[in-house]
Amino acid sequence: MSPEGWLEGARRVESPNCDERPADTEISLLIVHSISLPPGEYGGDAIERFFTNRLDPDAHPYFREIAGLRVSAHFLVRRDGEVVQFVPVLKRAWHAGVSSWRGREACNDFSVGVELEGSDEGPYEDAQYDQLVFLTKELRKILPLRDISAHSDVSPGRKTDPGPAFAWARVLSRLSA
């Protein structure tokens, strides 16, 4: 990890959708998300375009609904395991929205957001689990990450990702080993 918070080996696609974290904020939470654009479709550059405000609203009917949103995540793990980083971990990415974790509001302030290319309905790939575990272990070397949660846990009733197909036991057992 670079001193600025960029993961060595990750492909960097810088997003403007970030800002400074509040002063003296301890980054203690990793939030797992899922995304596919268009919904249910994998591959292509739509996620990267979305997180960099370059999504063409005419390229797909769904894009018209989201083209004006300004969101990002720190990382995206593609289906093949490629890791793309949009925001350095020392900055606040705009990934959790209205959220709360263990009584603390505004999870973006104290979390790292990791998007898995996928959907709530389908399984994730082995390469994605491998990279998520690797990434979490690397982040723990420089950040006091104590918790890992689903987007649905920090935004219940509003979000459902990464969904019931996500194998939490698989990830958590490997992180504790």
Q: Which residues are catalytic?
A: 115
Unique residue bearing structure tokens 């720190």: 74
First-to-last C-alpha distance (Å) of the chain: 22
Helix (H, G, I), strand (E, B) or coil at 50: helix
CA distances from 115 to 25, 42, 108, 130 (A): 22, 13, 14, 14
CA separation for the pair 97, 86 (Å, rounded) = 17
Beta-carbon neighbour count of residue 172 at 10 Å? 12
Q: Where are the beta strands (DSSP E) in the chain?
A: 11-12, 18-20, 29-35, 75-77, 83-85, 91-93, 100-101, 104-105, 111-117, 147-150
